[in-house]
Structure 1
Amino acid sequence: MNWKKPLAWLTLCSILLLCFPAATQAASGDKKVRLPDFPVLINGQALDNAKLKYPFFVYKDITYLPLTWEYTRALAISLSFDQDKGLQLGMGGGQLSGRFIGWKKEAFRPDLSGSNPRNRAYTATMPDFPVTISNNYIDNGSEPFPLLEWNDVTYLPLTWKYAHDMLGLELVWDETKGLNVIGGQQQVLGAIYYDDADYLYMYPELVTEPGRGGLKVKKSLEETPVWMTEEETGELRKRVEELERKNAGEPVSLETKDGGLYYLELRLLTKEQITVSPGEAGMAEIRGLKGTRFELPSGITLVSVEKTKAYNTGHSLYEYRTFLILRKEVSEIKELRQPLDRIIANDDGSFWLVSNGVDLIRGKLLAGSRRIALLDAKGNVRLANEALSESGIVVPGVSTPGLKDLLTDDGKLLIYRSGISNDGNFTPQDTQGYYWLDTGFNVSKADALFVLAKEESSPDRPSLNKSVYMGSDRKFYLLRTKNNTIFNYSDNKTGRWYDDELLATQ
């Protein structure tokens, strides 16, 4: 069948099933292709290339993917054909929806009605229609690895440029297992929030069956993740929250009197700071004033205040103030107008004050709010972000409930620098990565974590607070939030699971 012939009698289903037929005349002569002499997999599912109706081919040592309905849907490749624009490929085809109870993943079922003897000669041709991939026009005749046609189906060369960069596919080569082409995966594994001696515990990105809560993954990464019930997940979350409360200070009562906010007769905020102007937009009101106390061995007390301002639109604004109390004298630590997540004691009597940032909405952090300050025994505070000119500094392990000792034996703290300046303009600089920090604000690069830092700065990576988890065993677990993969960086082990292993299929 020719695309130039009338198509009125074809239904949409028939068009998709047939994909796009070959052109009437090869534009640049025939191309000799061969069957691969290695296994080929789609999303971990091994294919019998000898029986495929449309087998994989190799041309100039590059594997070619047949763009049929089954393959494009399984790999989430969008495909369309226009008489004038020709073939158009892009990301996002296939069955990608599914964030609701009762949804089932569509199983990949290749057509095995073919017969492809290895000793047979196979010839492909060049298409004569335009090709566009992710809005990029492809000069197919000039490409070293052009798209080809065989038995009325167009074949895509699985080069890194086409497969990875333009179509978002992952290509994994194994000497034994062969070539694994991965795409169209539902992300099921979410952030790691807790670990014990045996398991990593993770939030799910989606739940499609009732009664399921989180997931637990064996630290060996050799077993399929296990779904936990909502009850099991709830009990675990209670334990985690208790550990987090111990790390994040002790709740204390604050008193409002004489128009101000007081802690043990010491005024923290004035009347103006805890009231709202009657004319303020949104009919705002102060909905809550909560206090948290940190008692330090040096005799210093820190009190953190969370003020909630609610609006009639249903939104709330949170403001944070931290106060230092020494010999009944109160002073505000203005460098940390945000929640304190952990206080780390140093041998010299000083303390690191660590904040993971201000969460604006749904995990989106306020730029420049990931901060570390050093508090000395006399109550003096110095902000590491200013000393290092770094807008964002993260302390790996601060959010790990079971990790108590965050310092090395020689008293250094591991930090991750954002590589964005603290000059108010958020200028990119060549500092992104992991470093060792001492109390004199001297830094040295953590060379052993260079590869981890490089992957973290990759455009494929999500933000650090969602992807890297430093376990209670002090090992680094990297969640690759594409294709359900966990990488134990410390032991160089990888666990990969396909969504049909974690979800019900149809």
Structure 2
Amino acid sequence: MNWKKPLAWLALCSMLLLCFPAATQAAAGGKKVRLPDFPVLINGQTPDNSKLKYPFFVYKDITYLPLTWEYTRALAIALSFDQEKGLHIGMGGGRLSGGWIGWKKEAFRPDLSGSNPRNRAYTATMPDFPVTIGNSYIDNGSEPYPLLEWNDVTYLPLTWKYAHDALGLELVWDDAKGLNVIGGQQQVLGAIYYDDADYLYVYPELITEPDRGGLRVKKSLDETPIWMTNKETDELRKRIVELKRETAGEPASLETRDDGLYYQGLHLMTKEQITVSPGEAGMAYIRELKGMRFELPSGITLVSVEKITAYNIGRSLYEYRTFLILGKKVSEIIELQQPLDRIIANDDGSFWLVSNGMPTHGRIMTGTQRLALLDAKGNVRLANEVLSESEIVVPGVSTPGLKELLTEDGELLIYRSGISNDGSFSPQDTQGYYWLDTGFNISKADALDALAKEENSQDRPNLNRGGVYMGSDRKFYLLRMKNNTIFNYSDNKTGRWYDDELLATQ
């Protein structure tokens, strides 16, 4: 087949004009297209289709997007053209990293120099060059919704296969507003870390203007998030520290002796366990040994020891041990070698010991999200072993100010990862929310199935980034990991904000 060259834009490829003038003759047989009878939005903006130089079209009830410079930049679609391989369409163009002060978001400015009357007949043609979308060659002639050309511009059908699966776009339909095509968004909203009666407080994923420390979002989700100053953020953090002290332990005074580490004269760790071998790589040394104690009504004392080993490469290793003290007897709870986040008292005198994981390099270490039951006699059972679950999370444990985590029936809400705890870490059909009692009886929290399914979806690049937050009002707020969206699962409300609402534009 004789593939003919597109013209002038190829010589100006650094400008990526993306209009693909077809100096070639179109394949025989035009396709009748029409203007949509509904609005089409690009990242929340509604260009006037009657004035667009390259309007949106509808063919066989599918909306078609013109692949011009303005649209591909706005939606982060990358285009390239090769004389032999033809047109390649992929993800990536337009989403620029904005991690420095002074960076501004590129505004979307469509070309409104056209005139597109509704009574006009519109005919598109088939492109006569090969097309690849993502890693897939498109047999355009056999596709039910082929790529088309109009006025020398290539048009992409916004099918789910192309738009969502291949290009990562979000397609949102609203009966009143029409079709909203969303892509190329800078993720500004990060994890939710605190809430009060009126607001959610959110870490920023990026800051591009000075004196910005975080954002607060109205719980109604009907107002644009507000940037907080560094001073406001620091004051809030102090308040959070005070709230966490109410559920945390007390500092424990540790004593280092020649033969190891002691607490109130009781031997906790050997000398070898609190020192570093002279031959250790990286010129390692013990930077700190820090203890926290938890006094339980049953007469049991728990002491958690944090050991920080520093290396000359600028990194530190954090290790944790938890000790149970009953009278003068000391035993290590070997099942909990990670931070102890919360102790929850049960009516039968037992306690849930919760560790929602040990963070490292922005992730949670595998196998460190653990839950154990401590009875009044000092016996410990690890829920991860009983339920054969690698990761068990207790929602609300990290919520400052949320003290009561049990239901009136004494049940605890847990989230199971659906990964086995047998060492093989194989998937199993248990992922989701459950109610758990002290007899390790479980029942599925069916009302939260949809939330669990979304947590585990492919649209969430990292589940361990704190996407789901149980507020002090015991409502679930889900941070969707792209396109700056927060979903109040409990009230079925969604708040969505575009990056140009949260960032300065140019």
TM-score bracket for this pair, using the shorter chain length: over 0.9
For 1:94-493, list aligned pairs within 5 A.
Answer: 94-361=94-361, 363-461=362-460, 462-493=462-493
Counterparts in 2 of 1:394 and 1:23: CA distance versus 1, 3 Å? farther
Instruction: Give 1:271 deviation, angstroms.
Output: 1.3
Partner of 1:43: 43
What SS class does the counterpart of residue 207 from structure 2 fall into? coil
**Code of the aligned partner of 1:459:** Q
SS in 2 for 1:44: coil
- Aligned partners of 1:49 and 1:307: how far apart in 2? 63
**CA-CA distance at 1:245 after TM superposition:** 3.2
1:10 is aligned to 2:16: no
Question: What's the secondary structure of 2:165's corresponding residue?
Answer: helix
SS at match of 1:212: coil
Structure 2 residue runs of 5 or longer lacking an equivalent are: none
> Residues 414 and 6 from structure 1, CA distance in 2 versus in 1: closer, same or farther, beyond 3 angstroms?
closer
Q: Residue type matched to 1:47 in 2?
A: P
Aligned amino acid, residue 397 of structure 1: G
What amino acid sits opposite 2:317 in the alignment?
L
The alpha-carbon deviation at position 151 of structure 1 amounts to 0.3
CA distance in 1, matches of 2:423, 2:268: 28
Q: Which moved more, 1:327-336 or 1:275-284?
A: 275-284
Deviation at 1:464, TM superposition (A): 4.8
Q: Is the 8 A contact 1:23 1:128 kept in 2?
A: no
Q: Distance in 1 between matches of 2:12 and 2:419?
A: 54
Q: Which amino acid letter does the alignment assign opposite residue 194 of structure 1?
A: Y
Secondary structure of residue in 2 paired with 1:202? strand
Code of the aligned partner of 2:67 = L
The amino acid that maps onto 1:103 is W
- Distance in 2 (CA, whole Å) between partners of 1:351 and 1:479 is 31
How far, CA to CA, are the matches of 2:467 and 2:198 in structure 1?
A: 20
Give me the whole-angstrom Cα distance separating, in 1, the residues matched to 2:485 and 2:85. 37
Would you say how many aligned residue pairs link Structure 1 and Structure 2? 503
Q: What is the deviation of 1:242?
A: 2.3
Per-residue Cα deviation, 1:445-468 (whole angstroms, up to 9, x for no partner): 000001101111111113155200
Q: Which residue of 2 aligns with 1:65?
A: 65
Deviations, residues 288-315 of structure 1 (Å, cap 9, x unaligned):
1000011111111000000111122222
Could you tell me which runs of 5 or more consecutive residues in structure 1 were left unpaired when the two chains were aligned: none
SS at match of 2:213: strand
**Residues 349-383 of structure 1: CA distance to partner in whole angstroms, max 9, x if unpaired?**
1000000111122x211111100000000000000
Percent identity reads 82
Secondary structure of the corresponding residue to residue 466 of structure 2: helix
State the distance in 2 between where 1:367 and 1:118 align. 59
1:239 is displaced (CA, Å) by 1.1
Change (3 A) 1:18 1:432: closer
Give the superposition deviation at 1:197.
0.2
Deviation for aligned residue 1:8: 9.4
Is the CA contact (8 Å cut-off) linking 1:40 and 1:180 kept in structure 2?
Answer: yes
| Aligned partner of residue 74 in structure 1, secondary structure | helix
1:448 is paired with a residue whose SS is: helix
Displacement of 1:23: 5.9
1:270-329 alpha-carbon deviations (Å, 9 max, x no partner): 111111222222222111100001111111100000011112222211111000011121
CA distance, structure 1, for counterparts of residue 76 and residue 403 of structure 2: 43
Distance (whole Å) between structure 2 residues aligned to residue 450 and residue 335 of structure 1: 29
Deviations 1:108-153 (A, max 9, x none): 0000000001111100000110101112111111110000000000
Contact 2:95 2:185 in 1 (8 A): no
Cα distance in 2, alignment partners of residues 156 and 8 from structure 1: 19
The C-alpha deviation readout for 1:459-506, integer Å capped at 9, x for no partner, is: 111315520000000000000120000000000000000000000011
Distance, in Å, in 1 between the alignment partners of 2:204 and 2:10 is: 45
Q: Is the 8 A contact 1:292 1:304 kept in 2?
A: yes
What's the secondary structure of 1:277's corresponding residue?
Answer: coil
Q: Which amino acid aligns with 2:403?
A: K
Distance 1:254 1:63, change over 3 A: same
Q: Distance in 1 between matches of 2:311 and 2:481?
A: 35
- Equivalent position SS for 1:17: coil
Distance 1:122-1:310 versus aligned 2 partners, 3 A rule: same
Stretches of 4+ aligned residues off by more than 3 angstroms: 5-10
- Secondary structure at 1:46 match in 2: coil
Q: Write the distance in 1 (CA, Å) between the matches of 2:465 and 2:437.
A: 23
Q: 1:55 to 1:5 in 2, by over 3 A?
A: closer
| Equivalent position SS for 1:111 | coil
Asked if 1 retains the 8 angstrom alpha-carbon contact of 2:6 and 2:24, the reply is no
User: Would you say the 8 A contact 2:95–2:186 is kept in 1?
Assistant: no
Q: Which residue of structure 2 lines up, in the alignment, with residue 84 of structure 1?
A: 84
Cα separation, 2, equivalents of 1:5 and 1:473: 60
Amino acid corresponding to residue 54 of structure 1 in structure 2 = Y
Report the secondary structure of 2:161's partner residue: helix
Letter in 2 for 1:419: G
Structure 1 Cα separation of the partners of residues 478 and 394 of structure 2: 15
- Contact preservation (8 Å) 1:90, 1:134: yes
**Letter paired with 1:439:** T
CA RMSD in angstroms comes to: 1.4
Partners of 1:63 and 1:52 lie apart in 2 by 15
Deviation, 1:40, is 0.7
Q: Please state how far the C-alpha of 1:7 moved relative to its aligned partner.
A: 5.1
The answer (yes or no) to whether the contact 1:319–1:337 under 8 Å persists in 2 is yes
Shift of 1:244: 2.2
Q: Report the TM-score when normalising by structure 1.
A: 0.97
